[in-house]
Structures are given as C-alpha cells and as structure tokens.
Amino acid sequence: MADRYLEVIVPAGRREAVEKVLAEQPATWSWHHESAGRAIYRLLVPAERVEALLDPLQARLAGEEDFRVVVLRVEASLPRPPAEAEEASAETDEKPSPARVAREELYAALDDQARVTPVFLASVALSTVVAAIGLGRDNAAVVIGAMVIAPLLGPNMALSLATTLGDPDLGRRALRTSLAGMGLALAVALLLGWMPFVETGSSELAARADIGPADILLALAAGAAGALAFTAGVSAALVGVMVAVALLPPLVGFGIFLVRGDGRALPALLLLAVNVICVNLAGVGVFLAQGIHPRTWWEAERSKRRSRRALALWLGLLAVAAVLVWFAGG
C-alpha cells in the first residue's frame, strides 16, 4: 500500500508527546523543526500504519489549541526504504496493521460523498438522462456509461460507514443526499418516460424488472467489493463495482414503467431496494471486518449499540426483500 505524508504541528512545549508516539510507532522517515513557538514534524508513513500513529497523537494532544495533523497521499518517494527497514518497522507493531487507509482518511473521503452539491445533482440528472436513453433504445453500452457515472454509490457507502461508527450526523447527511439523488433521478425518469424514443419493449429495460435470488448475492458481493475499494484507497477498482451493482438503472426503469402504467414497475422497484439494502449491509460488514471503529472506548461502546440497531434494521429489510424476491421469482 502507498505511503502517506503527515505534517504534525504542535506547541513547541509538547514535542515530548510526539517523540513518545514516534518511539512507539516509528515513521519510515521523519524531520522536524521549530518556528514561531510551534514544532513541525514531517513524516513518511505507510498508509496502513497511519491510524496507529494518529490515534495516540489525538489522545495526547487533541486539547491543544495549535495541534493539527495534515495527511496527504504520496505518489512516489525517493530513495525507496530498504526491505530491512520495512521489516524492522513491522516488527515494532504489537499486532499487524490492517491493510487499509486510516479511519480519518476514509471518513474524509466518504464525508465528501455525503453532501448535496450542485455537481452531485448535475451528475444524477445527467446520468439519469443517459440511462433512460440507453434503456429506451436498448443500448447496453450507453446503460453501462450511466452506471459508471454512479452518483448514488458514494452516499450509500457513507451511510454504511455511519452505521459502522454509530455516527448519526454522517448518517443523516448520507441519507439526505441519497434520498435527494433518488428523488431527482425519479423525477427526471418520469419526465423522460413520456418521450417517444423510450421503448418499454427493449430487452435492457425488461432486464430491470427481472429479479431473482442471484441478484441478492450479486449485490452483496459487489457492495463488499466497493467497501474494500474505499478502504484500500483504490478508486480505479470502483468502476467495476459501479457496473456490477447499479442503483440508477432500476430506479430509471421504475420511473419509466410507472409513468407508462406498466406492471413491471414493482419488480424494478424491488430490484432497486435489494441493491440499496445489500450495498449498505455488505459495506457495514466489510468495515467491521476491517476493524474500523471509533477512536475512544466510550465512543466505541456507544457506536456498538447504534450499529447493532442499524444492522438489525438492514437485516430485517433484507429478509423482507428476500421473501418478496422469492415470490416474484416464483
């Protein structure tokens, strides 16, 4: 996994606290100097070990007025650390570091995805137009193009992280963003459903009303892959996930069927519900398996209770959806 560049700023009188943390969690490379009453540390740290360094820093220095940590991605660093140094650094850890980015880095990435912005709304509207044209003209390549834009995946991953951390503020933002995106997509789909170029007899549109048990397994697997891609910081891998578990085409299909009075609207809505439930449930499962939890024990206890309630809700919804899928398939 790639390195991260950390800049740690503390009051000059608190240098000892930073030195103690670095003695326990040594960086690949470090340098520091003092200026204007502040000590500035520049560190090069493997991405999977950033959280192990940030947690004790926050525990010791979070109340300090001048305390600040900036984490940046590193594309390359020279000279490369020798293999012996990497092995020695790994031996200092009491337990292996998880192969993922730090909790704070993941939170920052998904917090951006949980905000209603003009760019997000424009992406939803444009991808809905692309999806409707692709579905209506039976053009699989155009439908895949709408899948790749995938504006609804981010808010659902943010909701999974909020469930894992028991963070109600992030959860509310993610849910609000997801509902805003789905509402806008449905409104655009209802308008486009009247257009003459949308043929309800197309095989692409019919596929969005064809649901079976395999769709549940597909959505769970793709949702887990999406969560893994976010935790590994590998954005390129998300393209495959976007195509595998598309949230937008079933929603567009539902809108088109609904405005045409077609009975296939309900199966399309069920497919959308299954995808949303499975993406969130799989995301929570992966985040928990990756050891993502709040920094302090009291926050962890509180989040555990909230997470259990949210997981029970998702599992209950999945059970209901599975029964409906079973009857729909029959």
Q: Go through the domains of the chain in sequence order and give each one's CATH number.
A: 3-97 (3.30.70.120), 104-329 (no CATH)
Residues 232 and 1 sit within 8 Å (Cβ to Cβ): yes
Is the pLDDT at 299 greater than 80, yes or no? no
Angle formed by the axes of helices 213-232 and 297-329, nearest 10°: 150
- Name the band, by pLDDT with cuts 50, 70 and 90, for residue 310: confident
Q: How distant, in Å, are the alpha carbons of 2, 81, 226, 248 from that of 84?
A: 18, 8, 34, 49
Q: What is the pLDDT of residue 36?
A: 87
Instruction: Give mean pLDDT, residues 83-105.
Output: 65
Q: What is the pLDDT of residue 89?
A: 54
Is the pLDDT at 91 greater than 80, yes or no? no
Least confident of 180-184, 245-249, 281-285, 312-316: 245-249
What's the CA angle centered on 141, arms 151 and 112, to 5 degrees?
Answer: 15
Q: What is the sign of the dihedral through the CA atoms of 203, 265, 163 and 175?
A: positive
